[in-house]
Structures are given as C-alpha cells and as structure tokens.
Amino acid sequence: MSRDTSAPAVESHHVDVIDPAHRHGKARDLFPVWFSANLNVGNAFFGALAVVLGNNLFWSIVAVVLANVAGGAFMALHSVQGSRLGVPQLIQSRGQFGFYGALLPVALAAFLFLGFFATTAVIGGQYVSAAIPGLDLGLSIALIALLSLVLALVGYRAIHTAAKWGAWPLAIAVVIVTIASLAHGGFDLTMSGFEPAPFFAAFGLLATFLLTYAPYVSDYSRYLPQDTPARDAFRWTFTGAFLGTTWTELVGVMLAVQFDANDISASISQLFGGGPVVAIVLLVTAVAIGGNNALNLYGGMLNLITAITTFRPVPASVVVRIVMLIPTFAIGLWIALTASADFSTNVGIFLSFLLIAFVPWGAINLIDYYWVRHGDYDVAGFFNKRGVYYSDATSWTIAGVNYKALTAYAAGVLVCLPFVSNAVFQGPGAAWFGGADLSWIPGLLATGAVYLVLAKRSQPAELVVEEAR
C-alpha cells in the first residue's frame, strides 16, 4: 500500500489509530525532535538543581550523565511503541490498566502536562525578561505560552519541522554559552566530597526530567511506518534526548558553580557582562523554550481527548483539537503567572512527586509490552468499551478495570513512600539513608516484580492459546 505523504499542514488526527496509508518518515526523524526539544540553555536550570541540592562540580556531572542514561533509556523504550501501535501512549495504557482503569495514568498525566507547561513557561518568561530589561515578567510568560500554543495548534508536522530548523540556532546559542563558561574557569574537579543524600536526590530528579516524557514520547513516533525497526526508534530517540539534555544540563552545572545557582538567566548575564550577545542568546533560548513547551500542550490535548473518549466518541477534526488545547493552556498559564518566588524548591517538589507517580506506571507499561505481550495488542480494542480491555477474567479485567495492574501500581507507590525525600515530606527510609531520595529504586523493583508475577500467572486468554501453538 502506498503511503500518503501529502497530509494537510494542520493535523486533524488526535487519539485515533493512524492509518498505514498516512504513516510517513524515518526513525532518524526522531533525533531532531528530542535533540532540539532539549537543546536550549533553559534546560540548564535543571542541571543547576544538582548544585542547589548540595553536590560539588564533579559529582553533579556524574549525576547528570547517569541520570540521563537511565531516563533516556526508559523514554526511548516507550518511543518504540508509537510506530508499532500507531496510537498515543496513554490510549495504549488501556492494554495494561483496562478501558476505564487507564483513567488513573490519564489523571496523573494531566498534572504532569499542567506542571511542566507552567514550569517551562516561567523559565522562558524569565529569559525574555532578562533579555529585554523592563519587560514585565507576566507579559513575558504570556508571550512564551502563546508561541507554544501556535505550534501545538498546527500539530505534529509543525513540531517536527520546528525541531529540524531550530536545531542550528539553538546549537549556536548553547555553544556560545558553553565556550564562555569554560573560558571563565574557576572549576574544581576534585572527586572528594561525595555525599549520598544530595547525589541520589539529584539523580532521581534529573532522571525524572527525561523519564516524564514517557507518557507522551510515542505520540511523536506514531506516524512512523509500522515496520520501523524497534532498535532504530530506540537509538534515535535516546541519542537525541540524551545529547541535548546532558549538554545543556552540564552547562547549568558549570554556571551554577560559577554564579547564582538559583537564577541561570542572571548567571548568563554575569558571564557575558551584559550586551547584545546576552540578549540574543537569551531570546533564542526563550523561543526554544516556547517551542519545547508545545509538546506539553500537545500532550495535554491528547490526554484530555483520551479521557473523554473513555465515555463517548470524539470526532477527529481541527476544531476538536483546538478546543481540547485550551484547558491545559489556560490553567497552565494561570499557574505560571501565580507561581511562587521560591521556584527551584517548588520544581524540586514537583519532580519528586512525579517520580512516585510515573515510575510504577512505566514499569507496568514496559514489562507488559516487552515481556508479557511482546507488543501484541488488539489496537482496535483500545476504543471498544465492551471489548477485551473491558472484560477478561483471565487477566483480572472486570468492568473495564485491570486489577493486576492496579495492585502492582499500588504496591509500587506504597514501597516508594518511605524513601521519598523533598522539601515537604521525608520518609523514614530516606532519613535512614541520610536524607537521600531513593524512592525510584524500590518503586521500580516492587512494581516490576509484583506485575510480572501476576501477569505471568494470569495471562489473557488469547495469549495463552497463542503460546500453546
């Protein structure tokens, strides 16, 4: 069957299955999406968190690299699912949690999209205000949010195209700041001074940055041809995300140890001593942040449609997409405009709780896809409220809820909680380890072990028959 590569510029699909005739592109197209999405000086803010938490230069660098290897690997494993199944990630969660049970990750994702849209809009607004002294921060935030809205309105093709063409100016801006920071010097790369609490806290928060792309990373691979090799989708997603994120977060680490770790835009101004170079770098970075934030709006739109389609059909059209973008945009902008001045602390708390919410979900999703079903799902059944994902006693799916998935998820969250450590809550396990946030480790292991045992002992009927042949 020939593929239609002349799809309209403005996307009309939302959560529906992408027809094979409308599939297009190569796995390598995923590289610029995730490289450009993360290749902006704004992400230096997250690298600076490693220093804010109490790590020295050397151990901050180690935390950044290892965290992005872990987070990037999990993210890329989810990306593979998009081309194989042709549906958004959270629609596919119906295969694990049941037709109605999937509302749990959908609800969690709503907080993720709102939180990241607001956080990113604030960071972008700060860069605009720093580049144009005297410009009101609220207006700057609104301008960045509107740029994100325009890209999200046009949709999939606009996001991919902006990523391809935006990579060069973004790279130039990052290179300029990198060279200037290295030239400024003042680095102490001593290996002494390792402290487990700040190191593991930084590792967990930074891994969360890429890991939380997981609920929507396959939204940007679902248009790829179904025969796209899994290794290629993984490789190009991981490489783009890892390189872009690691580079910019390391810049953040360098700026944080040289200047003010809590205000990266001010640190860049100090680095260059003001002038037009600073203004250009900050404005390019702000535009990049606005472009990257379109991913959160686009994902929020798909997430809202996923929730609604659980109860009634939603026709695929441009108008529907526009209407469904507005709630995330409006609420997220309000949160951004009313954000607390203690921004770094609040972001750290936000990322900490996202880790608790999405590590168990990710473990269930990946184990089910790669180890239990081997990518074999009834995709049409994702949209059938009376189908296999609604009622299947062999997999503990009753009235649209898969109880083995919920049991494993609850186990993972409960095991996480004693090891959580952030500004508002510290569990006894974290206190025993000197305040280190290790919640993701027991959460991942407990969820994975419980789900794997339950899934292997209660496989869906169609899989049992297939394996017996």
Q: Which two tokens stand for residue 47?
A: 């690298």
- Determine the Cα–Cα distance for residues 101 and 70; give it in Å rounded to an integer: 28
Angle at 22 between CA 17 and CA 24, to 5 degrees: 115
Of 249, 246, 382, 259, which is closest to residue 313 (Cα–Cα)?
A: 382
Between the alpha carbon of residue 35 and those of residues 95, 210, 223, 256, the distances in Å are 30, 12, 19, 23
Phi–psi pair at 38, nearest 5 degrees: -110, -5
Q: Cα dihedral sign for 248, 253, 259, 265?
A: positive
| C-beta separation of 244 from 34 below 8 A | yes
Question: Domains, the chain, ranges and CATH?
Answer: 26-345 (1.10.4160.10)
Which two three-digit tokens encode residue 444? 């991942």
Per-residue pLDDT of the chain (469 residues; tens, 9 = 90+): 344 444 445 555 566 777 777 777 888 989 988 888 788 777 888 899 899 888 999 999 999 999 999 999 999 999 999 888 888 888 889 999 999 999 999 999 888 888 889 888 988 888 888 888 888 888 999 999 999 888 888 766 666 677 677 777 778 888 888 999 999 887 888 888 888 888 988 898 898 888 888 887 888 888 889 889 999 999 999 999 999 999 999 999 999 988 877 778 788 888 888 778 888 888 888 888 888 788 888 888 888 888 888 888 887 777 887 888 899 999 999 988 886 556 667 777 787 788 888 889 999 999 999 999 898 999 888 988 888 899 888 888 999 999 999 999 999 999 999 988 877 888 898 888 777 778 888 889 999 999 999 987 765 544 444 443 3
Closest CA to 45 of 185, 157, 209: 209
pTM across the whole model: 0.81
Give me the phi and psi of 238, to 5 degrees please.
-60, -45
The predicted pLDDT at position 2 comes to 40
CB 344 within 8 A of CB 49: yes
Q: Within its chain, how far is the Cα of 215 from the centroid?
A: 7
Q: Which helix (H) or strand (E) holds 121?
A: helix 103-131
Question: Does an H or E element contain 463, and which?
Answer: helix 461-468
**Amino acid present at 269:** S
